[in-house]
């Protein structure tokens, strides 16, 4: 038996099909992944992502430590509640994990992936040597993501005490309310919030959300939603052997101010030179408008060389297949080996759907 979130029984009650996810028993769907996906694009869905790891970083050197630890710069978080997406690199410039860091009253709150928890905690501990920081994992916190065009409206009905502040939140902004933290962040390409709060309060909120017509959404739809939104999945689209520059994460690297040192910086500068000479591959979007499904691991042939699909699926919103693929820079044409047949696909920017609508050209 795997680990359970505080909503395990609620998932079973909602008809979930449970699967193992990095040692956790998690809902893959509650009947139909496509229906759940569509629910988030057209109305509102709730995801239990309490298996993700919350780590609070406080102490005198918290800011200094995170500025050294992360490729993005927490100095950009000008006030409490601000959020930042960042890669955490190794010294070779590969991605140990991707994460969200929030500035909070006591320092910073970092949310990292579940499957990478142990190595992330070890890395945080290793890099923190010499810094005056307290690194405090918070397994007692639940995380619910409520996303979709009606998500904020429904949440405000259920949480009238927080409604005004939720409505005022800008994207990538959050606020603390006692032991609760509520932020406009997510992994779907729709409006919505993530709530981080004591897990013993999670069943009550879950039940209220469902009673208000918010539908439970499993990890299956979470994956197709994030793929349509062109968001990377750690361990698939990037890992410790991949430079963030080859994973469409260039915008998340804070080169300024130039005097800031961070883990992996010199390796990243070398990767940048390689990129300038065309020697570093790029992560692009692929679109297959005919029948068939692009899948992770399928090999890709472009006019500039070979590549590989890192994430691929059927897009329930677009009704055809889409993928992320790592291919040689400046490739213009592309064919994918689908079960032995080379099939022409289109190369697009890796962002397919936002707010329920197609966004690539």
Partner 1 sequence: MSNIPDDLHFASTHEWVRVNEDGTATVGISNHAQDALGDIVFVELPEPGSRINARNEVAVVESVKAASDIYSPMSGEITTVNEVLMDAPETVNSSPYENGWFYKMTLSDDAELDDLMGADAYSDHCEDE
x/- mask, partner 1, residues 37-76, rule CB under 8 A, reads ----------------------------------------
**Shortest Å, Cβ 289 to partner 1:** 13
- The binder of partner 1 chosen from 39, 50, 185, 224 (CB under 8 A): 224
**Shortest Å, Cβ 32 to partner 1:** 6
What torsion, rounded to 10 degrees, do the Cα atoms 185, 190, 196, 202 define? 180
- The binder of partner 1 chosen from 43, 80, 270, 293 (CB under 8 A): 293
- Residue 252 phi, psi (nearest 5): -95, 0
Stretch of 25-33, 53-61, 131-139, 179-187 lying at the interface with partner 1 (CB under 8 A): 25-33
- With b for 16 or more beta-carbon neighbours within 10 A and e for fewer, the 152-182 pattern comes to bebbeebbeebeebbeebeebbbbbeeebbb
Would you count residue 312 as binding partner 1 (CB under 8 A)? no
Would you count residue 313 as binding partner 1 (CB under 8 A)? yes
Closer to partner 1 by CB, 93 or 220: give it.
220
C-beta of residue 169 within 8 angstroms of C-beta of residue 193: yes
The terminus-to-terminus CA distance of the chain in angstroms comes to 46
Stretch of 24-32, 94-102, 126-134, 238-246 lying at the interface with partner 1 (CB under 8 A): 24-32
Closer to partner 1 by CB, 5 or 29: give it.
29
Closer to partner 1 by CB, 251 or 341: give it.
341
CA nearest neighbour of 221 among 81, 27, 77, 66: 27
Separation between Cα atoms, residue 77 and residue 170, nearest integer Å: 14
Closer to partner 1 by CB, 243 or 321: give it.
321
**Shortest Å, Cβ 288 to partner 1:** 11
Two tokens, residue 75:
């100095």
- The binder of partner 1 chosen from 29, 243, 317, 331 (CB under 8 A): 29
- The binder of partner 1 chosen from 4, 295, 304, 335 (CB under 8 A): 295
**Shortest Å, Cβ 325 to partner 1:** 17
Separation between Cα atoms, residue 102 and residue 108, nearest integer Å: 6
Q: How many helices (H) and strands (E) does the chain have?
A: 9, 21
Would you count residue 299 as binding partner 1 (CB under 8 A)? no
CA nearest neighbour of 123 among 73, 88, 156, 99: 88
Separation between Cα atoms, residue 323 and residue 228, nearest integer Å: 9
Would you count residue 291 as binding partner 1 (CB under 8 A)? yes
**Shortest Å, Cβ 158 to partner 1:** 29
Separation between Cα atoms, residue 285 and residue 281, nearest integer Å: 13
Closer to partner 1 by CB, 181 or 314: give it.
314
- The binder of partner 1 chosen from 220, 244, 264, 350 (CB under 8 A): 220
Residues in the chain: 361
Tell me the H-state helices in the chain: 8-13, 33-42, 62-69, 117-127, 151-158, 163-168, 202-211, 219-228, 265-276
Residues that bind partner 1 (CB under 8 A): 28-29, 32-34, 220, 224, 291-293, 295, 313-314, 316, 339
């Amino acid at each position: 038996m795997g680990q359970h979130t505080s909503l395990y029984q609620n998932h079973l009650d909602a008809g979930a099909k449970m699967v193992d996810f990095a040692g956790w028993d998690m809902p893959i769907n509650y009947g139909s992944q496509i229906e759940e996906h569509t629910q988030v694009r057209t109305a509102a869905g709730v995801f239990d992502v309490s298996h993700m790891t919350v780590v609070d970083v406080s102490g005198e050197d918290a800011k200094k430590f995170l500025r050294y630890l992360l490729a993005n710069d927490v100095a950009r978080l000008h006030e409490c509640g601000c959020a930042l997406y960042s890669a955490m690199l190794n010294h070779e410039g590969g991605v140990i994990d991707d994460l969200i860091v929030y500035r909070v009253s006591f320092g910073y709150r970092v949310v990292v992936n579940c499957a990478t928890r142990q190595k992330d905690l070890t890395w945080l501990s290793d890099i923190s040597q010499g810094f005056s920081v307290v690194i405090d994992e918070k397994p007692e916190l639940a995380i619910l993501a409520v996303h979709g065009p009606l998500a904020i409206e429904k949440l405000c009905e259920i949480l009238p005490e927080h409604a005004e502040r939720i409505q005022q939140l800008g994207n990538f902004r959050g606020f603390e309310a006692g032991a609760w933290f509520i932020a406009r962040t997510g992994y779907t390409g729709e409006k919505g919030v993530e709530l981080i709060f004591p897990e013993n309060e999670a069943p009550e909120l879950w039940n209220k959300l469902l009673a208000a017509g918010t539908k439970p959404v499993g990890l299956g739809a979470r994956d197709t939603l994030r793929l349509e939104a062109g968001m990377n999945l750690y361990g698939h689209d990037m890992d410790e052997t991949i430079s963030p520059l080859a994973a469409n994460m260039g915008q998340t690297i804070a080169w300024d101010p130039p005097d800031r040192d961070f883990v992996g910086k010199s390796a990243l500068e070398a990767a940048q030179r390689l990129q300038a000479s065309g020697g570093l591959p790029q992560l692009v979007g692929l679109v297959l408008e005919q029948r068939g499904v692009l899948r992770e691991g399928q090999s890709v042939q472009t006019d500039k060389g070979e590549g590989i699909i890192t994430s691929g699926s059927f897009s329930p919103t677009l009704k055809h297949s889409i993928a992320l693929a790592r291919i040689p820079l400046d490739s213009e044409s592309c064919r994918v080996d689908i079960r032995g047949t080379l099939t022409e696909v289109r190369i697009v920017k890796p962002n397919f759907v936002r707010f329920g609508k197609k966004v690539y050209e």
